[in-house]
């Protein structure tokens, strides 16, 4: 069945490919345009100033009572901005040498704070070099003193401050370690740097450098390892100090900067005002929602789902098939989306973990499918559902970007509210994609990796939050959608319970019914009722379908009284019988058939089909039932053969027996040549033939045919009748028709249904002899003499009644008991001598006459 949308499914799955191809081309052009001309085509290397890690003023260590050393700066320096010195602890075997080198290491005062002398930053980093120098935080010039320096200022958009380096001598490195430990653990303060000159002298320089190792990075195996931050500059400073100590200030050995290996330099265009790319991704992923919703509503609107149910496809199976079908499309779509996005070179796809991305989209797709099931009962028309879906998708993207995003970023909004909003799947999708985009872009800038599974361990992770919420919402939606879908059958089961209680509490419920039900029952109807009552006592292998007093009352709405559509029908149909139901419009035929095929729940009474009870075994009855509804319920996008294969499978046919059954069906209804044509391109008659073939495939035990030959040409009609006559041999057929010819040709018994009940039952001949014991005389004269003609007819046949009179043409019913056919001929001959007769004729009663008579009688008997 699901093959029917191959092309449209392919179009859907290729949609992201098209979009990302366009974006990829756009980015390629952008890249070409913006690539620096003086570099190799698109490769680039970046220089980073070599920096020191300097603690921010408030974290620099000062003297306190708990510390044994008294040479630390006084705490009063904290009151003045950036005036606390940065302490450098030094030790070694030779104090004079060590203090000399440390002093030479610090650069002389530079009053103008020019960036030429920049050496340190207080900014945290998780890279060795920290090339984010210009991204906030103070930048320091470490000098021997800051007496003449200007206060912190802006230089080339960088805050530059002078910081005084304060070397303090300690007796041993263990003393330094002791102080470093105390300072760090007890006060959360940081010393600037520590140097152990060991046995260094003017002849040789051996140094051990102490650095701040509180910056940590995660290693690939998830360990938190200390990051060796900015040690290069510390090393260079002390080496330079040693050189200057030996050779004087004119000799310098300065590490200015470090260069990375070349990398592909490409800044992605910043579309993110406001979150344009995120909106696009949200639309692309969410666009399957209207497709699914429309598809579900379409099957309901076209009654295809009902048709499938009537052929044995249970609710659960339908759910499963549709769900899996949508899921397969979704998975293909996600794959196409991820591959196309990656090929287009977008960071959100390249930088983030593929498995995280796939999991996120997979969970959302499931949520989206369950939401389609949940909302589908709200719509009657597929177009309405589709329009709603499209608006919802577009609205979600826009609301997400312009409202929801700002709420997420606003720390003053309680997280609970954000989580409540994320219960709406569109916002959860927006949040997730926004996270992926942020991680992707950030990673592209820093040339690291985007979101990984380990990021989801963090309790504050937005992705973790939406994944949990979406999974929860998905399960809830599935549960609610399933309950809503089954609510009608649940209700009917409950109503059946109350009805059976009613039936057991009172043997007859006739006192519930209005007086108008009470009318004289015809003899044939009484016989049928008695037969049914006898059959009620035990199963009978001869009878395929038995109706026990089926009744249907439609509840009155808007102040109207209840409508008694079927007032109690008894019927016993032997196997192999084709039973015809005739009746005027509104008589209750469709209601009766709908109760029999499970579309409507009887108000009371029941029926047994092949021993199965209509009230609680309908799902089993569906598997042995075939239905040709009044209006063709077929998929325009499936071929006739595919229809038959689908319904054949529902009837448990498979393999070669299925192929044979399909071929025989197509041949039977003369559609073999057009079997592979789309049913949407069939003519009205061809569709009708297909509907009949669908009803008969799979050897059903009982078949309902509602006006099967409507719209067929005489030749096709005859062919179809042959098929039905052949089919009725080993099954029971109930057929409704307005064609007397069809009823007479196909039906073994006919029941005329009027005013909510059978008015007569019997074969065509029985009915004609029972209800039509008269000749019909049709006579046409000039209109002026119709009274005279009527007088003559009534004169020669007492009891003659005029049933029709229009512009000179009159019809008379002449009771067979009062006149012979030859006497009619003689009388007309005599009449011709008195007045001119244009045309005349005598016929026996037809089924049509019986029909009209019975219908009129039923109509006039209504109180
Ligand atoms: N859902 C409903 N709610 C209320 N009344 C209904 C409903 N469906 C049918 N009826 C009424 O029940 C009566 C029987 O309708 P039904 O459709 O069974 O007649 P019918 O014999 O099939 O007519 P037709 O030959 O025109 O199809 C009609 O008076 C109709 O108005």
Residues 611 and 718 in one domain: yes
For the CA of 753, the closest atom of ligand 1 is 21
Assess if residue 853 is contained within a domain.
Answer: no
> Model confidence over 763-805: pLDDT tens digits?
888 887 777 778 888 999 998 888 888 888 888 888 888 888 8
Of 714, 731, 766, the residue at which a domain comes to its end is 766
> H-helix or E-strand containing 52?
strand 52-53
Assess if residue 47 is contained within a domain.
Answer: no
Residue whose CB lies within 8 A of the most ligand 1 atoms, among 562, 589, 596, 707, for a mutation test: 589
Residues 582 and 650 in one domain: yes
Residues 559 and 584 in one domain: yes
**pLDDT tops 50 at residue 761:** yes
Q: Is 762 in the pocket of ligand 1 (CB under 6 A)?
A: no
**pLDDT tops 70 at residue 216:** no
Residues 112 and 198 in one domain: yes
Find, among 56, 200, 240, the residue nearest to 140 by Cα.
56
Give residue 520 CA to ligand 1 midpoint distance, Å: 24
Q: Whose CA is nearest to atom 30 of ligand 1?
A: 586
Q: Looking at 182-186, 537-541, 588-592, 818-822, which range is the least confident one?
A: 182-186
Give residue 730 CA to ligand 1 midpoint distance, Å: 31
> Model confidence over 5-64: pLDDT tens digits?
677 788 888 888 998 898 888 888 877 776 655 444 455 566 677 778 888 777 788 887
Residue whose CB lies within 8 A of the most ligand 1 atoms, among 567, 580, 583, 587, for a mutation test: 587
Largest CA distance in the chain: 162
Residues 748 and 785 in one domain: no
Query: Distance (Å, rounded) from C-alpha 319 to C-alpha 256?
Result: 69
Helices H / strands E in the chain, number of each: 27, 28
Q: Whose CA is nearest to atom 3 of ligand 1?
A: 554
Mean per-residue pLDDT over the chain, rounded: 81
Of 211, 238, 260, the residue at which a domain comes to its end is 260
- Which of 80-94, 460-474, 598-612 has the highest average model confidence (pLDDT)? 460-474
Assess if residue 509 is contained within a domain.
Answer: no
Residues 791 and 742 in one domain: no
> Model confidence over 646-670: pLDDT tens digits?
889 888 888 898 999 999 889 888 8
Residues 120 and 217 in one domain: yes
Residues 143 and 254 in one domain: yes
Q: Give the phi and the psi of residue 127 in degrees, each rounded to 5.
A: -120, 165
ipTM of the complex: 0.97
Contact 246, 253 (CB under 8 A): no
Contact 71, 87 (CB under 8 A): no
**Locate tokens 């989206």: which residue?**
368
Domain count, the chain: 4
pLDDT the model gives residue 578:
92
Q: Give the phi and the psi of residue 515 in degrees, each rounded to 5.
A: -60, -30
Residues 91 and 227 in one domain: yes
Residues 758 and 800 in one domain: no
Query: Distance (Å, rounded) from C-alpha 582 to C-alpha 297?
Result: 34
Assess if residue 719 is contained within a domain.
Answer: yes
Q: Is 589 in the pocket of ligand 1 (CB under 6 A)?
A: yes
Residue whose CB lies within 8 A of the most ligand 1 atoms, among 557, 565, 585, 594, for a mutation test: 565
Secondary structure class of 449 (helix, strand, coil): coil
SS3 of 501-536: the string is HHHHHCCCCHHHCCHHHCCCCCHHHHHHHHHHHHHC
Give residue 586 CA to ligand 1 midpoint distance, Å: 5
Q: Give the phi and the psi of residue 84 in degrees, each rounded to 5.
A: -75, 135
Q: What contacts 489, CB < 8 A, 6 or more positions away?
A: 315
Of 738, 766, 794, the residue at which a domain comes to its end is 766
> Model confidence over 431-486: pLDDT tens digits?
999 999 988 888 887 777 889 998 888 777 889 999 999 999 999 999 998 888 77
Contact 229, 125 (CB under 8 A): yes
Q: Is 469 in the pocket of ligand 1 (CB under 6 A)?
A: no
Give residue 563 CA to ligand 1 midpoint distance, Å: 9
Give residue 548 CA to ligand 1 midpoint distance, Å: 20
Strands (E), 203-281: 208-210, 216-218, 224-226, 257-259, 263-264
Query: Distance (Å, rounded) from C-alpha 299 to C-alpha 634?
Result: 10
Assess if residue 495 is contained within a domain.
Answer: no
pLDDT the model gives residue 694:
92
Q: Looking at 94-98, 511-515, 555-559, 648-652, which range is the least confident one?
A: 511-515
Q: Whose CA is nearest to atom 16 of ligand 1?
A: 588
Q: Is 584 in the pocket of ligand 1 (CB under 6 A)?
A: no
Q: Whose CA is nearest to atom 11 of ligand 1?
A: 565
Q: For position 806, which CATH number holds?
A: 3.30.70.1150
Q: Whose CA is nearest to atom 29 of ligand 1?
A: 586
> Which residue(s) pair with 578 in the sheet?
733
Give residue 585 CA to ligand 1 midpoint distance, Å: 8
For the CA of 566, the closest atom of ligand 1 is 14
Residues 565 and 435 in one domain: no
Q: Is 586 in the pocket of ligand 1 (CB under 6 A)?
A: yes
Give residue 737 CA to ligand 1 midpoint distance, Å: 15
Assess if residue 39 is contained within a domain.
Answer: no
Residue whose CB lies within 8 A of the most ligand 1 atoms, among 553, 584, 588, 734, for a mutation test: 588
Give residue 295 CA to ligand 1 midpoint distance, Å: 29
Q: Is 563 in the pocket of ligand 1 (CB under 6 A)?
A: yes
Q: Whose CA is nearest to atom 14 of ligand 1?
A: 588
Query: Distance (Å, rounded) from C-alpha 786 to C-alpha 783?
Result: 6
Q: For position 614, which CATH number holds?
A: 3.40.50.300
**pLDDT tops 80 at residue 123:** no
Assess if residue 493 is contained within a domain.
Answer: no
Give residue 592 CA to ligand 1 midpoint distance, Å: 10
Give residue 684 CA to ligand 1 midpoint distance, Å: 25
Q: Is 565 in the pocket of ligand 1 (CB under 6 A)?
A: yes
Assigned token pair, 249:
């200030």
Assigned token pair, 139:
């930048």
pLDDT the model gives residue 3:
52
Q: In Å, what is the CA distance from 231 to each residue of 51, 132, 414?
A: 8, 16, 42
Residues 287 and 361 in one domain: yes
Assess if residue 835 is contained within a domain.
Answer: yes
pLDDT the model gives residue 215:
63
The range of the structural domain enclosing residue 369 comes to 271-482
Cis check for the bond before 274: say yes or no (omega within 30 of 0): yes
pLDDT the model gives residue 269:
59
């Amino acid at each position: 069945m699901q093959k029917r949308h191959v092309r449209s499914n392919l179009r859907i799955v290729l949609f992201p490919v098209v979009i990302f191809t366009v974006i990829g081309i756009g980015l390629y052009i952008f890249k070409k345009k913006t690539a620096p001309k003086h570099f190799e085509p698109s490769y680039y290397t970046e220089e980073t100033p070599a920096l020191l890690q300097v603690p921010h003023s408030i974290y620099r260590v000062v003297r306190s009572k708990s510390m044994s050393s008294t040479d630390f700066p006084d705490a009063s320096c904290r009151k003045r901005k950036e005036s606390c010195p940065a302490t450098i602890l030094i030790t070694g075997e030779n104090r004079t040498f060590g203090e000399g080198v440390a002093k030479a290491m610090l650069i002389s005062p530079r009053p103008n704070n020019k960036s030429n002398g920049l050496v340190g930053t207080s900014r945290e980093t998780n890279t060795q070099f920290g090339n984010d120098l210009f991204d906030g935080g103070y930048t320091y010039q470490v000098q021997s003193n800051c007496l003449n320096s200007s206060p912190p200022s802006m230089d080339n958009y960088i805050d530059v401050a002078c910081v005084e380096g304060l070397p303090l001598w300690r007796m041993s490195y263990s003393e330094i370690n002791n102080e470093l430990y105390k300072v760090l653990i007890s006060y959360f303060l940081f010393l600037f740097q520590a140097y152990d000159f060991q046995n260094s002298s003017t002849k040789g320089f051996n140094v051990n450098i102490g650095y701040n190792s509180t910056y940590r990075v995660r290693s690939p195996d998830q360990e938190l390892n200390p990051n060796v931050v900015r040690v290069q500059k510390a090393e260079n400073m002390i080496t330079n100090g040693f050189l200057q100590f030996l050779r004087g200030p004119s000799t310098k050995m300065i590490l200015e900067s470090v260069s990375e290996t070349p990398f592909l330099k490409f800044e992605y265009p910043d579309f993110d005002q406001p979150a344009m790319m995120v909106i696009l991704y949200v639309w692309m992923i969410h666009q399957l929602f209207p497709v699914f919703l429309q598809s579900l509503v379409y099957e309901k609107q076209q009654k295809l789902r009902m048709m499938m149910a009537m052929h044995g496809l249970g609710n659960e199976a339908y759910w499963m098939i549709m769900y899996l079908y949508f899921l397969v499309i979704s998975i293909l779509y996600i794959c196409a989306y991820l591959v196309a996005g990656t090929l287009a070179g977008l960071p959100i796809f390249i930088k983030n973990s593929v498995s995280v991305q796939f999991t996120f989209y997979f969970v959302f797709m499931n949520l989206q499918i369950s939401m389609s099931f949940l909302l589908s009962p709200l719509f009657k028309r597929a177009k309405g559902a589709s329009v709603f879906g499209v608006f919802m998708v577009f609205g979600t993207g826009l609301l997400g970007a312009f409202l929801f995003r700002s709420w997420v970023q606003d720390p003053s909004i309680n997280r609970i509210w954000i989580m409540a909003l994320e219960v709406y799947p569109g916002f959860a999708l927006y949040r997730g994609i926004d996270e992926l985009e942020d991680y992707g872009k950030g990673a592209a800038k820093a040339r690291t990796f985007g979101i990984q599974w380990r990021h989801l361990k963090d309790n504050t992770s937005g992705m973790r939050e939406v994944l949990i919420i979406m999974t929860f919402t998905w399960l809830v939606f599935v549960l609610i959608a399933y309950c809503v879908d089954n609510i009608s059958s649940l209700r009917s089961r409950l109503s059946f319970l109350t009805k059976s209680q009613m039936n057991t509490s009172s043997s007859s419920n006739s006192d519930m019914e209005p007086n108008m039900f009470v009318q004289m029952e015809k003899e044939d109807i009484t016989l049928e009722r008695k037969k049914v009552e006898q059959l009620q006592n035990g199963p009978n292998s001869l009878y395929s379908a038995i109706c026990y007093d089926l009744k249907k009352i439609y509840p009155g709405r808007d102040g109207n009284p209840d409508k008694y559509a079927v007032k109690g029908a008894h019927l016993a149909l032997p196997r192999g019988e084709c039973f015809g139901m005739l009746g005027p419009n509104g008589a209750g035929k469709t209601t009766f058939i709908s109760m029999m095929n499970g579309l409507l729940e009887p108000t009371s009474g029941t029926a047994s089909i092949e021993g199965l009870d209509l009230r609680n075994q309908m799902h089993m009855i569906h598997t042995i039932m075939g239905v040709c509804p009044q209006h063709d319920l077929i998929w325009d996008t499936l071929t006739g053969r595919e229809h038959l294969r689908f319904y054949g499978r529902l009837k448990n046919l498979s393999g070669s027996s299925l192929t044979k059954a399909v071929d025989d069906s197509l041949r039977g209804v003369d559609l073999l040549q057009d079997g592979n044509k789309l049913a949407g391109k069939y003519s009205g008659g061809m569709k009708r033939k297909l509907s009949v073939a669908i009803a008969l495939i799979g050897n059903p035990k009982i078949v309902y045919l509602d006006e099967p030959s409507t719209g067929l040409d005489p030749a096709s009609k005859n062919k179809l009748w042959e098929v039905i006559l052949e089919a009725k041999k080993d099954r029971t057929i109930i057929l409704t028709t307005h064609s007397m010819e069809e009823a007479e040709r196909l039906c073994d018994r006919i029941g005329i249904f009027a005013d909510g009940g059978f008015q007569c039952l019997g074969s065509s001949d029985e009915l004609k002899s029972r209800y039509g014991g008269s000749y019909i005389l049709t006579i046409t004269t000039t209109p002026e003499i119709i009274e005279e003609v009527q007088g003559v007819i009534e004169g020669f046949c007492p009891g003659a009644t005029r049933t029709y009179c229009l512009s000179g043409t009159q019809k008379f019913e002449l009771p067979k008991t009062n006149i012979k056919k030859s006497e009619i001929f003689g009388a007309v001959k005599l009449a011709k001598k008195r007045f001119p007769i244009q045309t005349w004729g005598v016929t026996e009663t037809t089924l049509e006459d019986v029909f009209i008579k019975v219908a009129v009688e039923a109509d006039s008997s209504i109180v």
